[in-house]
A = this chain, B = another copy of it.
Amino acid sequence: MTTTTHERVGDQGIVHRRTFQASVEDVHRAHTTADLFVRWMGPRGSHVRLDHFDPTTGGAFDYTVEVGEGRYRFWGSYHEVLPTRIVHTWQFEGEHGVTLEMLDLVEVAPGLTDLVVTSTYSSKEACDQMVESGLDEGGMDSDFERLDELLAQLA
């Protein structure tokens, strides 16, 4: 079974890696197409409400994950969206800290893609906090399990 690995790099960085049995193009599409994005983002049983979703260079996003009575808002701006690279900011409403996220999509073999997410925190303290809470930024592991399933359906 595929797992996501998380590695602290320096004072302010965490690098997350996962291999997907899908093409670079499909992994990219799942991140940049609204009706695919909402099918894997957020915990199982949740609903993602996209208030704004413009995954292009200079665009932005603003979405709320609805779980029962809970509402969790995430927002940020897209610095760069290229075929094998997506760079955006990311913030969870109610927290002060903003994170810079760089997603690199690397073709390992045809139909096999490494996704490397480099999260840069705006302070060492913010990064420490994420490490202490278990490195699984925003429930990334379970999101990626859902993404795995979605990609299998697309193939």
Listed in ascending order, the chain A residues whose CB lies under 8 Å from chain B are: 10-13, 52, 57-60, 62, 75-80, 87-89, 91, 98, 100, 102, 118, 120-124
- Is chain A's interface secondary structure helix, strand, loop, or mixed overall? strand
Of all chain B residues, the one with the shortest Cβ separation from A61 is B58
For the complex, what is the distance from the CA of A88 to the CA of B12, rounded to whole Å?
18
**What is the count of identical protomers in the complex?**
2
22 contacts between A and B (CB under 8 A): A10-B12, A10-B124, A11-B11, A11-B12, A12-B13, A13-B122, A13-B123, A57-B60, A58-B75, A58-B77, A60-B77, A77-B78, A77-B79, A77-B88, A77-B89, A79-B89, A79-B98, A80-B98, A89-B89, A98-B102, A100-B120, A102-B122
**Which residues from B are CB-within-8-Å of A120?**
12, 100, 120-122
Determine how close the nearest CB of chain B comes to the CB of A109; give it in whole angstroms.
25
**Which residues from B are CB-within-8-Å of A124?**
10-11
